[in-house]
Every structure is written in C-alpha cells, then in structure tokens.
Amino acid sequence: MDALTSPARSWLFVPANRPERFAKAAASGADRVIIDLEDSVTPADKAAACAGLARTELPASVPVYVRVNAASTEWFDANIEVAAHLDVTGVLLPKVELPGDIKRADARLPAEFQIVPIVETAGGVWNVLEVAHAPRVERLVFGALDFELDTGMLEGDDTFAYARSRIVLASRIAGLAPPIDAVTIGIDDEAALTRDAERSRRFGFAGKLCIHPRQVAPLNRLFAPTAAEMAWAESILAEADKRPGEGAFALNGTMVDRPVIERARRIVASKVIPSEARDLTSR
C-alpha cells in the first residue's frame, strides 16, 4: 500500500543523534518512524546530527520520515539537503504557516518524497486550507504543544476543538490522507493515551505521534476497528447484499442508508493484520 492508504496509526519519533535506536524504532510495530532533527536534538548538536544522518543506514522495513527544523531556522537548508539524499518516504516540516514554507522544500526534494506539514501555530491553523493545497502534501499533523506555546491556550476539555476541526476539514477539502494528532506526553499513562486517542478518532484523525515505543501497541489497537465495530459493519454489508437496489432499509431497529453502508465499508476495509498491533509494552 502507498502512503495514502497504508495504516498510519502510530508515528514514532527517534532522535537523529541516536542512530543506535533506529532499528529498535523500526521493530517497535510503529506504522511510521520519524528521525527527528528538531525538538529531540539540542541546538548545539543539530549540525553534527544532520551530518551524521547523511552517513547512517536507515531502516527499510517501515516508512521513514525526517523531521527537519523549521523553514525560519538556520538549520533548514542543510536539513533539506541531507534529507533529499536519504532513502526515506518524506519529510515532516514543523511550524508551517504558509504554502511558501512547503514550496521551499518541494523545490529541493526528489519527486517521490512526501511532505507532511505540522500545523502548530495560530498562523498555521488560520491558513490551514492554503497549506493543505500546497504541492506534494501527503497529510497534515497537529502539533498541540507548540500550539499551546504560541497561543497561550491550554489543552483540556476540547479547548483545541476548533483547531482540530479546521485541520480535519482542510484535509478533506484538499483531498489529503486523514491527519495525525499530537503526542501524549505521559509515556506510561495508558489511560491518558487512550483518552487522547479516542478523542482523535472522534475528530477524524487517522493516528497519533508517539514519543516512546511503549505507546505504539496501544495506539495501533485504539485506531483499529474494535471487534464490535467490525461485527456491526459486516452485518450491515451482509444485509445490504441481500437487498440490491434498495436505497434504505431497517436493521435491528435502526435505519440503514447509503452513508451508513459506506461507513461500514470503510471499517471493513481498514482491518489490519493482527500482528501489526502486537503487544510491545514489555520492551
């Protein structure tokens, strides 16, 4: 499957200056691995991390992306130059606010690279539809921590519902793959991870960023259809097959029409191989 259709439930960060962790990240069960040159690397180490990445063999068993530093920083040009020569799926661009930020990367990256903008400022949320329509964008990511820092708003009780809704709607209008939600900072707080992931699903996100391998298996499970959802979808499709040509019908006391049938088809189509959601929490 390509980047638009393959599972994108768990996107695991690994610091670019810790190459000994790359293989472990690829073996974690994460759907995507992000080699991070931005927040995971201190300013003093950024140049060395970037240079070292150019000499490092990267995993080939999972789609790998590089998170470069923002277009407004002194490290952006060197990061893009190195990323362009790596065997990766694409790049994550932080703090994107305008299509011009994406076009700077687009002009210097190989044609097959995907670009994933991170929307994490007031300007980015305000201009998100323009960003979504920029060339070569695969999907959007919401960066809640930097959005808090930029706006002074505090996450909680769906404070960021407006931002999340804009990102999801812009993605749909632009024909992008569903977006990815922000990290949950509690590494061992599975209750918080579950709560956050359930909210992400309600808003229409396809997955979440994660900061530790222990978060991968729960996210893969939480973003996959439950057994009850799968059974419901299969029963809808089975009944629909018995009623060709009927626009709507009743099943178990509820109305079934075209949107319900299409939702059932999406649930069945999203089924993944169980081993992809294997329990890795003991690692």
Same domain assignment for residues 94 and 212 = yes
Is 1 inside a domain boundary? no
Question: Average pLDDT in the 4-9 region?
Answer: 77
Residue 234 resides in a domain = yes
Check if the beta carbon of residue 114 is closer than 8 Å to that of residue 3: yes
* 3 within some domain: no
Q: Provide the domain limits for residue 53.
A: 10-222
Q: Are residues 49 and 74 in the same domain?
A: yes
Positive or negative: CA dihedral 23, 27, 29, 32: positive
Indicate if the pLDDT at residue 3 is higher than 60: no
Of 143, 22, 118, the residue nearest 68 (C-alpha): 118
Q: Does the pLDDT value for residue 276 go beyond 50? A: no
Are 193 and 236 part of one and the same domain? no
Which residues lie closer than 8 Å to 191 by C-beta, 6 or more apart? none
Residue 161 covered by a domain: yes
Residue-level pLDDT at 274 = 40
Q: Are residues 183 and 205 in the same domain?
A: yes
- The domain total for the chain is 2
231 shares a domain with 129: no
The answer to whether residue 191 sits within a structural domain is yes
Determine what percent of the chain is predicted with pLDDT higher than 90. Answer: 75
- The tens digit of pLDDT for each residue in 174-192 reads 999 999 999 999 999 999 9
β-bridge partners, 15: 36
Whether residue 65 is found in the same domain as residue 198:
yes
Q: What is the pLDDT of residue 273?
A: 46
Let me know if 131 is exposed, middle or buried by CB neighbors in 10 A (0-12, 13-18, 19+): buried
Tell me which amino acid residue 186 is: G
Tell me the pLDDT band of 63, cut-offs 50, 70 and 90. Answer: very high
Q: Are residues 119 and 248 in the same domain?
A: no
The enclosing domain of 167 has a CATH number of: 3.20.20.60
Please report the pLDDT score of residue 147 as a whole number.
97
* Predicted pLDDT at 260: 84
Residues 93 and 129: their CA atoms lie apart, in Å, by 16
203 — phi, psi (to 5°)? -80, -10
Indicate whether 134 and 165 sit together in one domain: yes
Instruction: Check pLDDT > 60 for residue 123.
Output: yes
- In terms of Cβ atoms closer than 10 Å to its own Cβ (0-12, 13-18, 19+), residue 133 is middle
Of residues 282 and 271, the one with the higher pLDDT is: 271
Tokens 């490092």 belong to residue: 56
- To which H or E segment does residue 192 belong? helix 190-203
Cα-based angle 55, 210, 277 (whole degrees, multiple of 5): 100
Range from 62-66, 100-104, 106-110, 276-280 carrying the lowest mean pLDDT? 276-280
What is the spatial distance between Cα 204 and Cα 198, in angstroms, rounded to a whole number?
A: 10
**Is residue 93 in some structural domain?**
yes
Residues 208 and 122 in one domain: yes
